[in-house]
Amino acid sequence: MSVRQTCLALGLIALLFPGIAHAAGSEAPARPNILFIMSDDHTKRAISAYGVDLAETPNIDRIANEGVLFRNAFVTNSICSPSRAVMLTGKFSHFNGVRDNGQPFDGSQPTWPKMLRALGYQTSIIGKWHLKSEPVGFDEWQVLIGQGEYYSPRFKNKDGIDQYDGAYVTDKITDIAIATLEARDKSRPFMMLYHHKAPHRNWMPRADDLDRAEASQFPLPPDFFDTFERRPAAKEADMLIADMFLSYDMKLQPGEYDTETGSGGAHHLPNRAELGESVWAQDYARLTPDQKEKWDAYYSAVNAEYQAVKDDPAALARWKYQRYLSDYMGTVKALDDNIGRMLDYLDANGLSENTIVVYTSDQGFYLGEHGWYDKRFMYEQSMSTPLALRYPAAVAPGQTVDALVQNIDLAPTFLDYAGAAVPQEMQGYSLAPLTAADTVNQGPWRTGLFYHYYGEPGGWHNVPEHYGIRTRRHKLIHFKGEHDHWEMYDLETDPRELKNLYGLAEHADLQADLHEQLEALRVHYGDPHAGH
């Protein structure tokens, strides 16, 4: 058997019997440390390792360059709490019980942190948790309350709530994470979930980063003024940048505009304008006087630009887009700086070689594609997510992987690298074989991804429940609800997913084939809710 054949066989074994093929296990030192870095709403387009020029992220790039960059990583359900539950359990939403942001995580179910703790790992979660129930399975935990606050953040822990007046959330999460590593029992391997709030809405940068040089002009996506032909669900979604709040999103202060005109995704709420203004007032009030001085010095000038565009809807939308991207990238800068601090800490303490560092986000995000912000849809920008893995002791640097991977794979991957058995009930596959040799990247890996978004309680952003399949080239989606319609895309000829091919006679064979593959995946993953 050739090396390539052996690798293909290993890949097949991993596919059929995840947990058996420990590609790294035979050579790697026993029990690597694990640092699982996750951010919130960080799209691949805002990471320079992916070759896009919107943000410079030299420290996230270090993880990718010194390890593996996954170019086709996706989520199963593009929304915050459900993604976190998937990553803890290795199971789809219909099995882990968190289908939307309204459902609390049942901490009594099996998770990979619990399994590693039982093996002797010292386990911790620092930062964003956002699963309503308290963390279970961690020796140490300090987590933000709900979505958390950018300034003067509060952290909940076993003893109560601590508020850090004047601190910036991304800096403080890192301070606590490093202090927790410093105080750990150094005779045991550690596993830490180092999870950031940034770059989640409403994108409040660090006061000292506001006047950074790159906050200038961002290119407008060609589909920014999308008209949504043959895509009724997308047409009715309330996530246009043009409809962002002037207050909460754009950060205009009272007196800098006449009336709040944005819906902010809360089209259904009669008091949406007051909501945007009151939440923004609360967020701004968390800044110290010194921070407010820097904040006002920067924003008073850019806020004044509003007067010149307020009466022209297209000009106002373009202006909002620039403001949005500038603030988003501002929060990414602090995120990347702090990941650099953490990587430096690992280096300085001799931990880098035997620590698996994973960087990902809970999902992707729209940066103006279709004119949107937010996530939820099965379209590429929000179904995809960044993923990089570094493990110098066992994984060669400078690799890229094109295989279709999904966030259900993370739990099996961590267990596999730690030498633990992967429970049969986990629905993903260890990524270790993919990181062991380039030759398996195109091997017998999965050929289609299953996706299911369940809608949002309360109707925020007005995106209906939908499910579908993404293959390497095509996508088939069924939108439930009022319109009950299907969409089909050829990602090779139409990467922006603007031409819905469903129902066109010339694509009938492809359509039938995708229907068959989708049904096979639905059965494979045991999803009882997909279908008519």
Contacts to Ca ion by CB under 5 A:
40-41, 80, 362
Contact yes or no for 207/291 (Cβ under 8 A): yes
* Phi, psi (degrees; rounded to nearest 5) at 326: -65, -45
Minimum CB distance to Ca ion smaller for 200 or for 318: 200
In three-state form (DSSP H/G/I as H, E/B as E, the rest C), the secondary structure along 459-482 is: CHHHCCCEEEEEECCEEEEEECCC
Selection from 30, 22, 17, 44 nearest residue 360 by Cα: 44
Which residues are 163's β-sheet partners? 154
Tell me the two tokens of residue 526: 């045991």
Q: How far is the CB of 463 from Ca ion (least distance, A)?
A: 14
The residue (of 339 and 436) whose beta carbon lies closer to Ca ion is 339
Q: What is the CA radius of gyration of the chain?
A: 23
Contact at 8 Å (CB) between 70 and 388? yes
Q: Of 173 and 518, which has the nearer Cβ to Ca ion?
A: 173
**Least distance between Ca ion and beta carbon 49 (Å):** 20
**Of residues 147 and 288, the one with the C-beta less far from Ca ion:** 147
Task: State the minimum distance, in angstroms, from the CB of residue 369 to Ca ion.
Answer: 17
Residues in the chain: 532
Pair 78, 380: CB distance under 8 Å: no
The residue behind tokens 């094109």 is 402
Distance CA 310, CA 223 (A): 22
Main-chain phi, psi angles of 173, to 5 degrees: -60, -40
Choice between 197 and 206, CB closer to Ca ion: 197
- Confirm if 126 and 182 have CB atoms less than 8 A apart: no
Is the torsion defined by CA of 113, 117, 119, 121 positive or negative? Answer: positive
In this complex, which beta carbon is closest to Ca ion, that of residue 79 or of residue 449?
Answer: 79
First to last CA, the chain: 47
> Least distance from C-beta 362 to Ca ion, angstroms?
4
What is the smallest separation between the CB atom of 245 and Ca ion, expressed in angstroms?
18
In the bound state with Ca ion, the residue whose beta carbon lies nearer, of 80 and 244, is 80
> What CA–CA distance (Å, rounded) separates 7 from 1?
10
What's the min distance (Å) between Cβ of 453 and Ca ion?
Answer: 13
Q: Which two tokens stand for residue 455?
A: 């809608």
Shortest Cβ contact with Ca ion: which residue?
80
For the CB of residue 100, give the shortest distance to Ca ion in the complex, in Å. 13
Residue with smaller CB distance to Ca ion, 260 or 362: 362
CB of 79 to Ca ion, least distance (A): 7
| Three-state DSSP state, 393 | coil
Cβ atoms of 43 and 364 closer than 8 Å: yes
Residues 6+ apart with CB under 8 A from 448: 404, 469, 470, 471, 517, 518, 521
In the bound complex, what is the minimum distance in angstroms from residue 264's beta carbon to Ca ion?
Answer: 17
Judged by beta carbon, residue 80 or residue 169, the one nearer Ca ion is 80
Q: Which is nearer to Ca ion, 41 or 497 (CB)?
A: 41
- Min dist CB 286 to Ca ion, Å, is 21
